[in-house]
């Protein structure tokens, strides 16, 4: 039994933390098996930002037909041999220790062996390359295994989001936990031309694919990732088209040179599972 966890949180560039778990729930047909009650974890309003925290309601003729507030839902799927718990929640604003206790109570009740949390941060990285990942973990012994997955290890110091915070209570409870944060492409053209709009990736299917290739291999889920692979290719084409259009609009600005410089200075660290290496090698052998 394994768990993939994501949150609607600050570190959610490219939807890697929130939209990816929802995509897995939808495509796998995972069924909802529970939730964490929102009691005591969320701010209703503040004087500065009165509407940012409030629940969203929809009324028709005075009657409430929709009510949307903080959600922390638990889903389950199995391939017949391995069970997968998918957790998708809203980052808590209050009582973080109690929230973490509730989260790991779920993991313990379901006998989860290991938890993988996903997230994303925007960075000036090329959109056509495999995504780079930074990783943190709950137990020192995990580092050797994680180093085989083409990740760097975080040396960050400062305030953390929920995905990183969970490393601390996980270690205290003896639960294996790690977080992988993808660097999601964003291009800043403001220095070239004040009229230029930045290009950012809202749903980074390339990052989704790259993180799921790692988790699928580690958890031995046997997932079909062909749809994500197709979406990743379409994303590359879409961003290329945006760059071409911007280059035409700003004919005097070195738009493509800027992209080429970023690409040239990027060191790609592709992840290739050992099983894939054998499969490719045997395929070449038989073809010959």
Tell me the pLDDT tens digit for each residue of 143-181.
999 999 999 999 989 999 999 999 999 999 999 999 999
Does residue 22 carry a pLDDT above 90?
Answer: yes
Question: 0.85 exceeded by the pTM?
Answer: yes
Q: Which residues of 271-280 are buried (b: 16+ CB within 10 A; e: fewer)?
A: beeeeeeeee
pLDDT at 54: 72
pLDDT at 230: 97
Q: Which residues of 207-220 are buried (b: 16+ CB within 10 A; e: fewer)?
A: bbbbbbbbbbbbbe
Q: How far is CA 237 from CA 109, 231, 243, 265, in A?
A: 44, 10, 10, 21
CATH 3.30.70.250 fits 2-41+64-279, yes or no: no
pLDDT at 47: 66
DSSP 176-220: EEEEEEEEEEEE--TTT-TTPPPEE-SS-HHHHHHHHHHHHHHHT
pLDDT at 218: 96
Beta strands at 133-137 and 176-187: parallel, antiparallel or unpaired:
antiparallel
Q: Sorting pLDDT into bands at 50, 70 and 90, what band is 263?
A: very high
Q: Which of 35-39, 41-45, 87-91 has the lowest mean pLDDT?
A: 41-45
Q: Region 15-37: what's the mean pLDDT?
A: 97
Q: Residue 174 and residue 191: Cα distance in Å, rounded?
A: 49
pLDDT at 280: 59
CA 48 to mean position of chain CA atoms: 30
> What does the longest C-alpha to C-alpha distance in the chain come to?
72
Domain borders along the chain are 2-41+64-279
Does residue 24 carry a pLDDT above 70?
Answer: yes
Q: Residue 48 and residue 55: Cα distance in Å, rounded?
A: 16
Helix (H) or strand (E) holding 87: strand 83-90
Does residue 62 carry a pLDDT above 90?
Answer: no
Q: Sorting pLDDT into bands at 50, 70 and 90, what band is 67?
A: confident
Nearest to 262 by CA among 195, 189, 193, 206: 189
Q: Is 262 helix (H, G, I), strand (E, B) or coil?
A: helix
Question: Could you give the percent of the chain with pLDDT greater than 90?
Answer: 73
Q: Residue 25 and residue 20: Cα distance in Å, rounded?
A: 9
Q: Residue 200 and residue 228: Cα distance in Å, rounded?
A: 19
**Side-chain-side CA neighbours of residue 96 (13 Å):** 12
């Amino acid at each position: 039994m394994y768990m993939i966890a994501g949150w609607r949180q600050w570190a959610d560039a490219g939807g890697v933390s929130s939209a990816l778990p929802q995509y897995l729930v939808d495509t796998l047909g995972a069924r909802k098996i529970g939730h964490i009650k929102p009691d005591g974890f969320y701010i209703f309003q503040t004087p500065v930002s009165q509407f940012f925290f409030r629940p969203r309601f929809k009324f028709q003729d005075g009657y409430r037909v929709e009510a949307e507030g903080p959600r922390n839902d638990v889903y389950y799927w199995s391939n017949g041999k391995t069970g997968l718990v998918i957790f998708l929640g809203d980052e808590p604003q209050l009582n973080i220790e109690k929230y973490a206790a509730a989260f790991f109570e779920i993991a313990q009740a379901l006998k989860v062996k290991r938890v993988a949390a996903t997230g994303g941060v925007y960075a000036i990285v090329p959109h056509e390359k495999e995504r780079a990942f930074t990783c943190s973990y709950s137990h020192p012994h995990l580092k050797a295994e994680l180093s085989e997955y083409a990740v760097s290890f975080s040396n960050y110091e400062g305030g953390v989001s929920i995905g990183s915070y969970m490393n601390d209570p996980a270690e205290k409870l003896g639960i294996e936990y790690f977080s992988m944060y993808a660097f999601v492409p964003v291009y800043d053209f403001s220095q070239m031309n004040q009229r230029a709009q930045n290009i950012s990736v809202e749903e980074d299917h390339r990052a989704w694919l790259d993180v799921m290739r790692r988790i699928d291999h580690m958890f031995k889920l046997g997932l079909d990732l062909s749809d994500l692979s197709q979406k990743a290719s379409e994303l590359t084409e879409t961003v290329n088209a945006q760059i071409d259009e911007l280059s035409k609009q700003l004919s005097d600005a070195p738009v493509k040179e800027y992209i080429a410089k970023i690409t040239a200075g990027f060191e790609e660290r592709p992840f290739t599972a050992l099983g894939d290496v054998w499969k490719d090698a045997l395929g070449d052998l038989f073809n010959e």
